[in-house]
Amino acid sequence: MSSPRALAWCLGALAGLAQAAGAATVTLDFEDLGCARGEASCELGDQYMGKGYALRYTPAEDEPIGSGLVVVGKAWKANRKGSVALSLRSCETSVTLMANDNALFDALAIDLAEMNGDGRAEVVFQGVQGNGNTVSQALVLDGKPGWQRFSFPASFRGLSSLRWAQGGCLQAQPHMFDNIELQA
């Protein structure tokens, strides 16, 4: 015979498994952006929408050279893995990621690379949790050509938004990003 406590534990474990099985993981890989398949780069505009999520560009104050996201194509010299990625148009700009339906999501991982393949880049991510609390994580790239995969800590679960900036471009090099792994 099972004790009521053991039965309750089993039911709770099964409910947790059912909830985890229902969670959908998506990867924003930008391969749907055809403008840069054979080019080094092309302009995208102020937002990207795909797979239930939106990335929205925020220009810098007094931005001198226009605004928007840049699609980094397979022909870009520092894009050695040969997939389509995104970057921010200017220094001191930012991008915010949100679910199209404003649902909470988990940020699991992201690929980052130095835009020009050299110089150290540091990218600071700020997440807003569903309860309004803010979490932050600074990711430092190694300063060498090539992509690096970063996993977000458990505190980046239950987010309403995730924001990061290009940085000053003098003290930290510009970056490109790809394969943003998210879970609803």
Written in H, E and C, the secondary structure of 155-175 is HHCCEEEEEEECCCCCCCCCE
pLDDT averaged over the chain?
84
At residue 34, does pLDDT exceed 50?
A: yes
Query: For position 164, what pLDDT does the model report?
Result: 96
User: How far is Cα 2 from Cα 133, in angstroms, rounded to an integer?
Assistant: 42
At residue 126, does pLDDT exceed 90?
A: yes
Phi, psi of 152 (to 5 degrees): -80, 150
At residue 55, does pLDDT exceed 90?
A: yes
Which residues, at least 6 apart from 171, have a Cβ–Cβ distance to it below 8 Å? none
CB 160 within 8 A of CB 102: yes
User: How far is Cα 177 from Cα 37, in angstroms, rounded to an integer?
Assistant: 16
Structure tokens at 30: 């930008």
At residue 162, does pLDDT exceed 80?
A: yes
At residue 134, does pLDDT exceed 60?
A: yes
Token pair 């987010």: residue: 159
Nearest to 136 by CA among 158, 163, 111: 163
* Greater model confidence, 101 or 66: 101
